[in-house]
Each structure stands twice: as structure tokens, then as C-alpha cells.
Amino acid sequence: MVKITADSTCDLSDEIIKDLDITLAPLHIVVDDQVFSDGVDITPTDIFHYVEQEGKSCKTSAVNIYEYKALFQTFAEKYDAVIHICIGSSFSTCYTNARLAAESFSNVYVIDSRNLSSGSGHLVYDAALMARENMDPEEIYHKLEKTVPLIEASFVIDQLEYLHKGGRCSGLEAVGAKLLQIKPCIEVVNGQMKVGKKYRGSFENCLEYYVKDRLNNRTDIDYSRVFLTSSKCSKTTVAKINTLLQSYFDEIIETEAGCTISSHCGPNTLGILYKRKL
């Protein structure tokens, strides 16, 4: 039997985590001088309260080597193998720490998802399904490695204040975007985050254009599954995008972004994350 573990940044729902017996390693959320564990004792709603109501700063911190060792130790003796999927190595030192921790075990495999949120969640989901079918750990590992470059992840952000507070854009850019109603699309390309198309107008209208831009006139998309992942978006907005996606994908899985994505992007962030064909 193979045990699947992952960083909390994979943004899978509690139902999926429980159903597929996935164990998460929570990243740390640092609020001023307090340290919390992602999804354990802090939620995105808490983060928005700290930032918007109390004026505090929220930053993220990687899972350390000791914590990974403790996680792997829990399962390495009980299972034939442990496969751990990390947030992309360009976004955090989690992958480096997990690899170092895995050196203490002969049956722990670590995957660099080169992605974030449910972009890495695709890998975690696939891994858990393969583990449920009792596939060989090395076969699971190699299949995941082939899938890594096929995942297409992007988000549209309603406001740039959180990116500004995290040092990822200037104050002038944040103010200008607010005045001009600019909603940028953030893409993950070759393991790196970059700004894609910039939309202008209401958040909901921008999302419609975003979905069509990402999906229309494409022949390379695997339409079997898409994650619709959002951070504090209205149910009406999410439902509207879900309806749009129904004409493209066989399976639509709605999830909420966890603390890591939310602390960087803020509320009213929504993305569609899917795979390209092999």
C-alpha cells in the first residue's frame, strides 16, 4: 500500500482529503509575531480579518525539515511507500526541506509539483486514485512526473492590495489597478508565476472573458477534469463560472483556496486549473 501526503497548499476539499485518505503537511502563516498552521488553527476568513480589520501583516513560511521527518516517520513503517507532493520549488523551500527529510527513509518519494493551489491538487488527486488502485509506488511517481508539465494553472485577482503587502507589486500598481478596475490574470508558466492578460471592468464580467480566453479554440486540453478554485467569491459568481465550464469539462470540482493563496491574493480571487493532453 502507498500513502499519499501533500503540502496544505494543494487546496483540495475536506471531503476529497477524507475520502482518499490524504494527509496534509500544513505550511505556517505568520501574523505579525504569531505563527499559525494553515487550515489547522487559521482560515482564510481569519486572514482577511487580520489584514482588513486589524491592519496586521500576514506572511507564509515553509514546512521545516523536522516537521517533514515526523510526517514521513508516521507512515514510512506502516506503508510500502510514501509519496509526498510539494508546492512548487520556485514558490517555497518546502520541496528542498521535504527532499532533505526524505533522505532518512528508503521508501519516501517527493514530487516537485512546480505549481500551487489545486494545480498541485491535480497531482495529489491523481496520486491518491492510483494508490487506491494499489499501483506500484515507482509507477505512480513516474506518472506524476510526466503530468507535472501538463498542468495549466491561472487565477484572476480582483485587487492587488494583498500582492502589494506581500511585496509582489508596487503601491503605484495597486492604486492604478483599483482606479482603472484592472483585474490581472496570474499564470503559472514553467514553474514560475507571471502576470498574463489584464482585464478591465467588473470582476464577474472579467471572469467570463478569462474563461473563454483560456479555453476557446484549444485542441490540447484534457477535458476530463477541472478545478474551480476561489477565495471568498460569492456563490453566485462561482455558480456562474461553473455553468460556463459545463460546456467544456466532464468533471468540475469546486474548492476553496487555502490560507497560503488567500494571504497573497486576497478575497475575490478565482481560477480554473486543468491539464493539457499528454
Using CA atoms, how far apart are residues 123 and 12, in angstroms rounded to an integer? Answer: 11
Residues of the chain with CATH 3.40.50.10170: 2-149
What pLDDT, on the 0 to 100 scale, is given for residue 169?
A: 41
Q: From CA 47, how far away is CA 29, in angstroms rounded?
A: 9
CA proximity to 118, closest of 6, 3, 212: 6
Calculate the CA 217 to chain-centre distance: 26
Burial class of residue 122 in the structure, from the number of CB atoms within 10 Å of its CB (0-12 exposed, 13-18 middle, 19+ buried): buried
Residue 161: its H or E element = helix 161-165
Tell me the pairing of strands 221-231 and 192-200. Answer: unpaired
* CA nearest neighbour of 69 among 100, 33, 43: 100
CATH 3.30.1180.10 segments of the chain:
150-276
- Write out the CATH class of domain 150-276: alpha beta
Q: What are 136-150's pLDDT values in tens digits?
A: 999 999 999 999 999
Q: CB of 162 within 8 A of CB of 168?
A: no
pLDDT-derived band at 53, boundaries 50, 70, 90: confident
Q: What would the pLDDT profile of 222-277 be if each residue is shown by its tens digit?
A: 999 999 999 999 999 999 999 999 999 999 999 999 998 888 888 899 999 999 99
Q: Give me the pLDDT at residue 222, please.
A: 98
Q: What is the pLDDT of residue 172?
A: 35
Give percent of the chain with pLDDT exceeding 90.
79
Q: For residues 247 and 200, is the Cβ–Cβ distance under 8 A? A: no
Note the pTM of the prediction, 2 decimals.
0.92
Q: Are 132 and 228 in contact (CB under 8 A)?
A: no
- Cβ neighbors of 167 (< 8 A, separation 6 or more) are none
User: What would the mean pLDDT of 85-91 be, rounded to a whole number?
Assistant: 97
> What pLDDT is stored for residue 199 in this prediction?
92
**Secondary structure tally for the chain: helices H, strands E:** 11, 13
pLDDT of amino acid 33: 84
Contact (CB, 8 A) for 107 and 82:
yes
What pLDDT is recorded for position 163? Answer: 56
Residue type, position 194, single letter = K
Q: What are residue 187's DSSP bridge partners?
A: 154, 194
Sheet holding 192-200, edge to edge: 192-200, 182-189, 151-157, 269-276, 221-231, 252-256
Identify the pLDDT of residue 264. Answer: 82
Task: Point out the least confidently predicted range of 71-75, 88-92, 196-200, 261-265.
Answer: 261-265
81 — pLDDT class (breaks 50, 70, 90): very high
Q: Which fold has domain 2-149?
A: Rossmann fold (3.40.50)
User: Residue 47: its pLDDT value, please?
Assistant: 92
Q: What does the pLDDT read at residue 36?
A: 95
Residue 153 sits at φ, ψ, to 5 deg, of -120, 135
Task: Give residue-wise pLDDT tens across range 154-202.
Answer: 999 987 665 545 544 433 343 334 434 678 898 999 999 888 898 988 9
Match 510514501 to its residue by C-alpha cell: 82
Amino acid in position 141? Y
Kindly write down the DSSP assignment for every residue of 194-229, as one continuous string. EEEEEEES-HHHHHHHHHHHHHTT-SSEEEEEEEEE
**40-51 pLDDT per residue, tens:** 999 999 999 998
DSSP strand pairing (221-231 vs 252-256): parallel
Q: What is the pLDDT of residues 110-131, one digit of tens each?
A: 999 999 999 999 999 999 999 9
Q: Is the C-alpha dihedral spanning 102, 103, 104, 108 positive or negative?
A: positive
